[in-house]
Amino acid sequence: MKTNKKYKIFIVLLLVFFTSCNEADFLKEEAKDFLTPSNAYVTNNDFQTSLNYLYTIVRERYYGRESNYSHMMMMRNGTDMWYDARVSSGISRWGHYDVNMATDSRVPLNEWRDWYKLISEVNTIIASINGSELSEDEANQVEAEARFFRGFAYRHLVYLFGGVPLITEQITSPETDFTRATKDQILTQIIDDLEYASANLPELNEVSQDGRISNLVALHYLAETYISEGEDDKAITALTTVIDNPNTALMKERFGSRKSREPGDVYWDLFRRGNQNRSAGNIEAIWVAQMETDLPGGFLVTTATTYNHAFERFFIPAIWTLNDPDGILGVRGYEGDDNVGSAGVSLAMPTDYLINQIWESDFNNDIRNAPHNIVRDFIYSNPESAYYGKSGLEYPGSVILAQDWRWYPWFVKATTPENHPDELYIDKSNYVLSSFAGTTYRESYILRLAECYLLRAEAYLNKGLKDKAADDINEVRQRANATPVNAGDVTIEYILDERARELVLETPRRLTLMRLGLLISRVKEYNFWNADDIQDHHSLWPIPNSEIEANINANLEQNPGY
């Protein structure tokens, strides 16, 4: 297996060996000028630096762009909610299951590699606590934070691949004899890690840094794992602790940096620049990935095309390419508003399920479907067009008629309308951006309280307590001004519908469906493009062939069907 092993000490020893002529002196050498496991983890600051790196790995996995195989795209396209806008077999847009799920595909390899990299880092941190200068309280908190991330990594691996190698100790030399633990063994380890984390991480109101995890984050994912193990009572208890915490609540009034903007509402406010963190007054936020613009390590830039956090690019259509019926360009360019949406390139198109079916009962009153939250038309904004101010759908040009993938309804939470960094504007009065546009310039939720309500509803449903499940769903729907659901109508399908309405583009839909064992059936029902190429064995991903071949001293068994 290609885990992130610590080779630095090995290199140091070789250097000393070849520069010393006295074996006894060599054996007494102390590495003072090089970082080794014995001197890199001494003070609390040393450990905090390593813990910060764990957050970086998660941010890169969730929001970074790895060539054309980004987690952002792979966790969303090819599900019941999104498909390849260009209806091709392209791997970068999940055009075909057999292509994306080949045993030599970069898609499973990237997930496998990065989550095991995180696990390796965690195991090194934990192994280094003994012998450090940490106090008992510091040691407990460092271990709790590290173990949360190990559980979080195995959460992804177990739902994507099933049983995988279980590694809980530091690896200091190459190993080639890994075998797969069972799915239950992995889930048990996740529970063990997250129980420890939830008992030792700080309370939400004690977390001093935006983006740092609290015990509530661990409790949420612990509850999710309990549900997978059929322990719904424990899940309900854990989630009730989260939901009843006095320091968190759903945001129900307008707030933040653009609360006076009209049209708008509290749901719109949740996704505006500067509004995600608790320090901004957002008490619904529980875990937020931190991002800064044009700062070292900030993840977002205005001076290059990196496409980190590229929801604009991936999930907004290429409206800037459309012409009017006379052949004149219909808009001014990369307009960063809620008409053009910046520099989208039409990679992921919402299914009819996502854009129409789930809204039918409350199309006009659910604020999440309001025109300022879902854009369902575009207006010609180029003053040189004879169609200026008119609907591009009512008066389509030749480009959209020939390539309808260049426009489709899109979600405004993917962008920051009229509020991009100043450095990106080439015409700020008309919100026209430079060619470096395409990034979503704000922090991003990994977990907010609305998801906790919907997960507890799932646990209540499993126990047959549909009235309590409906109560939780209706907490979310009430904020959205949507019609309350009747207890008799609550099913797992309804909960998935509500997750789609509330959490679109926030949570990895593929992971949710694979956790529930519903990926195959829902893709066949709702995704016209992938319905014919998805097969039963795609309920699990293939173990990367390169990992199997490198594991020469044991059988790393492949999943069935590959």
The single-letter DSSP state of residue 340 is T
CATH class, domain 8-201, is mainly alpha
pLDDT at 313 over 80: yes
Classified as helix, coil or strand, 82 is: strand
Average pLDDT over residues 457-462: 99
Average of per-residue pLDDT across 236-244:
99
Confidence of residue 7 (pLDDT cuts 50, 70, 90): very low
pLDDT reading at 17 higher than 90 = no
b (16+ CB within 10 A) / e for 437-460 = bbbbbbbbbbbbbbbbbbbbbbbb
CA distance 474 to 456: 12
What does the mean pLDDT of the chain come to? 93
What is the share, in percent, of the chain residues with pLDDT greater than 70? 93
Tokens matching residue 290:
């931190």
Query: 60: which 2 tokens?
Result: 């890169």
Each residue of 31-55: pLDDT tens digit? Answer: 455 556 667 899 999 999 999 999 9
- Confirm whether 8-201 and 450-520 share one CATH topology: yes
Closest CA to 442 of 317, 280, 332: 280
Which of 11-15, 113-117, 177-181, 271-275 is predicted least confidently?
Answer: 11-15
| Cβ atoms 80, 516 nearer than 8 A | no
Does residue 1 have a pLDDT over 80? no
Closest CA to 234 of 268, 201, 195: 195
Q: Which residues does 245 contact at the CB level (< 8 Å), separation at least 6?
A: 203, 204, 216
Q: Which of 517, 475, 531, 469 is nearest to 494 (CA)?
A: 469
Interacting residues of 246 by C-beta distance below 8 A, sequence separation 6+: none
Looking at residue 70, what is its pLDDT?
83
Q: What distance in Å separates the CA atoms of residue 510 and residue 79, rounded to the nearest whole number?
A: 6
Task: Look at residue 202 and tell me whether its pLDDT is greater than 60.
Answer: yes
**Is residue 391 a contact partner of residue 377, using CB atoms and an 8 Å limit?**
yes
Query: Whose CA is closest to 358, among 531, 524, 506, 482?
Result: 482
Which one, of 170, 145, 138, 144, lies nearest residue 58 by Cα?
A: 145
Report the alpha-carbon distance of residue 165 to residue 158 in Å, rounded.
Answer: 10
Q: Give per-residue pLDDT as tens, 338-368.
A: 999 999 999 999 999 999 999 999 999 999 9
Specify the pLDDT at position 37. Answer: 64
Domain range list for the chain? 8-201, 305-442, 450-520
* Fold type of domain 450-520: 1.25.40
For residue 133, what are its two tokens?
């200068």
The pTM for the full model equals 0.93
Stronger pLDDT, 445 or 9, i.e. the higher one: 445
CA atoms within 13 A on the CB side of 205: 5
- Residues 308/64, Cβ–Cβ less than 8 Å: yes
